[in-house]
Every structure is written in structure tokens, then in C-alpha cells.
Structure 1
Amino acid sequence: MTTTTSTSTAIAAPPERVWRLLTDTDWWNRADNGVVDVAGAIAQGQKIKLVSELDPKRGFKLQVAEMDEPHHMVWTGGMPLGLCTGRRSFRLEATNAGCTFSMAEDFTGPLSPLIVRALPDFQGSFDQFAAALKADSEA
């Protein structure tokens, strides 16, 4: 079973400018984007820890599993043996007016239905993140 949350927005800025923010932990930690803290380097193969406003007492340990600058990035995390795996993808597609940003989180694995029921709804947080990225990229 797969469960997905996603958001998308048009940004009047080139993908390279948006990418710089997406990979800048200082931006993640200061922006009004629904994230309390990101620790670690946002770079291919690196491990990071993300703390969200949705559950500020809990940090999610993630790995930057894929990176294709300035187009695509994937973070993964979850339980051993693939019992539940989260996969957050970020995409930037160039347009005549700048780019389209999209972000999605998929949960897969035999325990994912149980785990997802215990998690808060990500939609508002995802929309807040996209709005902050748009505002700061266009500033």
C-alpha cells in the first residue's frame, strides 16, 4: 500500500535560485516553512535530521538518496527491513515564467497503513513549505 501527500506551486524564479534554498539548511531553519530544524548537510548520500512543527518533540532521520541539481532530490527514511519507508521527493521544472515546484511524500511497506494513521496530516505543512519557498525565492 502507498500513501501520498503532495503539493505544487508556480514560482517566478529560475530553478537554480529555488534549488539554492532547498539545499541550504540555514534557509530551512529560518524560514516560515513548517520546519523547526534541519541538521546535517543536504547533499547526495548525506544523513540529515528533520524536526517538523507538526511534531516538534520528534526528529526524523533521513538520507539524501537522490540529487540531480537543480531538478530533483529525494530523501528517504523509515523502519528496518522495509516495514515502512518514507520517500520525500522535491522537483523543479523550468517554465517560461520561472519554474514549478512540487513535493510529495510516499509511504510504502507492510506497516505503512498503521504508521500513517499515527502521523499527523502533512497537507497543511506541505502547503506552508511550498508557500515559504515561493515567497523567499521570489524576494
Structure 2
Amino acid sequence: MKTYRKSIDIDAPISEVWQVLTEDLPRDPDPFGILRIDGTLAAGSRIKLWSEIEPKRTFALTVTDFQPPHTMVWRGGMPLRLFTGTRKFSLSTAGGTTRFDMEEVFSGLLSGLIVKSMPDLTSSFEKFANALKEKAEHHG
């Protein structure tokens, strides 16, 4: 299993951060390192995502968990769970700020082989978190 994580404190109310994450992101994904998102971010919905990391590839994902304003989970991968990527977005309050945590776990029988051929997502996670912070702190 390979895991990427990023956490950041955002000086904005949790409701503002959630709005940027779930409403602004699909409308203006570029600052987040995402070229395009098709579909609605809601429980059980299917979305398609194009990323700067692999611009010619479409990622077909399902929103497997959606609990406003705290949790959203996207999952995609191969049939029979031979390879699965699960990205979890979590928001919590910490004093007067919002704590944003993002984690992606790659698992499955073929994950060891597939992860070796993937680019490192560390900079992508940094860009996403910093864009969320910037947009939420200057939202409205």
C-alpha cells in the first residue's frame, strides 16, 4: 500500500472551506492542479477527473462518502479491486480555524506494480491544499 497525506490549517470557517471544496473546485479546478471535473460532488455520484499530473488520462471516480461539512471520499480503480485509489478529504474545527486533511491510499493486488509507474503525488497534494487555503481565506 502506498499513502500520500497533507494537512493544513485554514483561517476560515468550516462552512466556507467546504463550499470551496465542493462547489468552487468543480467550477474552477485549475488552481488545485485539476484540469477538469465532470459530474456532481454528492453521495454516490460518479465523477470524471483530469489532472495536471496525467492530463491525457481520465479518472473515473465514485463519491463513496459525503458528509457535509466534514468528509468526502472519492474511489476509483480496477475491477475486482485489483487496484484501488481512495482519496479522503476531512475538515474539522481547531480553535478559530479549519483543519484540512487529505489522504490517498493505493491498495489492491496490483498496487505495488502500478504505484511504481506513477508519478510522486507529493507536490500535487501541496498545490491542492495551498489552493484550498488561499481560496477559502479570500472567499466571499
TM range (shorter): over 0.9
Superposition pairs of residues 68-87 of structure 1, within 5 angstroms:
68-87=67-86
Cα distance in 2 between the residues matched to 1:15 and 1:105: 21
SS at match of 2:31: coil
Letter matched to residue 90 of structure 2: R
Q: State the number of aligned residues.
A: 136
- Amino acid aligned to 1:138: E
Structure-2 residue corresponding to 1:33: 32
How far off is 1:119 after superposition? 1.1
- State the match for 2:54 in structure 1: 55
TM-score by length of 2: 0.94
Q: Is the 8 A contact 1:21 1:27 kept in 2?
A: no
What is the CA distance between 1:97 and its match in structure 2? 2.1
Q: TM-score, normalised by structure 1?
A: 0.95
Which residues in structure 2 correspond to 1:1-139 (within 5 Å)? 2-24=1-23, 25-28=26-29, 31-139=30-138
In the aligned structure 2, how far is the partner of 1:45 from the partner of 1:89? 14
CA distances 1:56-95 after superposition (whole Å, capped 9, x unpaired): 0101000000011100110000000010111000000111
Identity score, percent? 44
